[in-house]
Amino acid sequence: MTRLMVEKIWDAHRVRSAEGEPDLLYVDLHLVHEVSSPQAFDGLRAAGRAVRRPDLTLAMEDHAVPTTGLSIVDPMARAQVEALRRNCSEFGITLYEMGAAEQGIVHVVAPQRGLTQPGMTIVCGDSHTSTHGAFGALAFGIGTSEVEHVLATQTLPQRMPRTMAIEVDGELPVGVTAKDLILSVIARVGVNGGAGHIVEYGGGAVRALSMEARMTLCNMSIEFGARAGMVAPDDTTYAYLEGRPQAPRGAAWERALEHWRSLPGDAGAAFDRVVEVDGRTVAPFVTWGTNPAQAVPVDGAVPAPDGFADPLVREAAVQALRYMDLTPGTAMRDIAVDTVFVGSCTNGRIEDLRAAAAVLRGRRVADGVTMLVVPGSMRVRAQAEEEGLHEVFTRAGAQWRAAGCSMCLGMNPDRMEPGARSASTSNRNFEGRQGPGARTHLVSPPVAAATAVTGRLAAPGDLP
């Protein structure tokens, strides 16, 4: 019987199966942060249960932490962080606190530690857990009650979703990033185009991507409704993992490699749906609306709602233009911004910072524009400083911050004012995502840097 990669992983982790019921899957790695876990720990405490495998659980302070210091002013954020510290201490869970050398966004830290590995099942009370699928892992977000279930049992009831392949062949043009690719895919298939599916990305263009770029691709799978996003492991995967602190070593490494090489789907195994993309046609993309599917190339213009045949999509466009205060036909390059954010679990890794710095080197952030550069982890921050990237950012007039989710979402001090407009390398442009009334345009790191220089949405090629 031929099987897809996801089917192999699913079968290997099935603890129990009964007709008419969800399968019970074993969980290899459970990631926890301060926002989704307090009620789960309270539930354990009320039931008198322990954490089943604290050694397979890792906690991180990331969503609510400030990026300018170690003092949390907001009382709700402080309560969330303090609760996580108490819970981890009580239940014996490793916690990376803000300011620690290993602290950062959970979806950045786990891969850089070598914890994320091919063939694993990984869950977290955060939708962007799909990031870890870049390694050939089955990784997805879960709700608070499911967090409690995993803490108590190290298992989770799940029904197997349908499968979808996104094949990207043809070389991506120079200057086009994984962020541009995934925005173009979402714009093509729609905000619900992957609903009910686990997506596997393949094709020559995907194989040519670095691991950090693959993480960006899988990170935003959730933004078109997919349950998870995956890339089959290959030599690029193994080279990234080898030597990482918590990756296998010695004979264990050789055994792991043998297993990992067996994971890609068998010849003849069929997906329920296949989407083919010509990578040569992808351009730098920017969003104009309030969901990631509302995006066009930076060369494009704000579309008119009447151009959408689907009445629901058309109405969503009307509402988005009202919120974003944009007029159909406006060239994307004519849209001025006052804030630029480089960071998040989508684009806060070292390659993202290098790409932004390459554009900013020798240039200045435009007057009236505030630019925040926030590393995805303290290790990324340290590496960037070793390479002198922080000096490029600060000389250009950007603010260099400590690690955290920062301006990706309005749960910490890095919020925008009502009516402010940003170019952001984060993953969501929902209404109020970066602060009440804030307007967000999703972009890649190079586009973010070029936009900071011009004060308007721009690509690096627009700069002299």
- Known binding-site positions for [4Fe-4S] cluster: 345, 405, 408
Please count the other Cβ atoms lying within 10 Å of the Cβ belonging to residue 232. Answer: 19
The CA distance from 175 to 284, in Å, is: 8
Q: Say which residue the tokens 């300011």 belong to.
A: 99
Distance CA 275, CA 71 (A): 47
CB 451 within 8 Å of CB 423: yes
- The bridge status of strand 14-16 relative to strand 295-297 is unpaired
Q: Which of 81, 77, 43 is nearest to 60 (CA)?
A: 81
Please tell me the distance from the alpha carbon of residue 449 to that of residue 1, in angstroms, as a whole number.
Answer: 49
The structure tokens listed for 374 are 């926030």
Query: Nearest to residue 205, comparing CAs of 117, 281, 107, 112?
Result: 281
Sheet with 138-141, edge to edge strand ranges: 94-96, 57-60, 29-33, 121-124, 138-141
The two structure tokens encoding residue 283: 């351009």
d(CA 274, CA 162): 12
Question: Distances from the Cα of 183 to the Cαs of 177, 201, 235, 245, 367, in angstroms?
Answer: 10, 14, 26, 33, 29
Cβ-proximal residues to 440 (8 Å cutoff; 6+ apart), any chain: 287, 421, 422, 424, 426, 428, 429, 430, 433, 434
Q: Give the tokens for residue 381.
A: 């921050």
SS3 304: coil
Numbered residues of the known binding site: 345, 405, 408
Tokens 């627009």, residue located: 462
Tokens representing 120 are 């694993």
**Contact yes or no for 184/285 (Cβ under 8 A):** yes
Question: What is the distance, to the nearest Å, from the Cα of residue 246 to the centroid of all Cα atoms in its chain?
Answer: 22
Alpha-carbon Rg for the chain, nearest whole angstrom, is 21
- Name 33's bridge partners: 60
- Both tokens assigned to 376: 């995805």
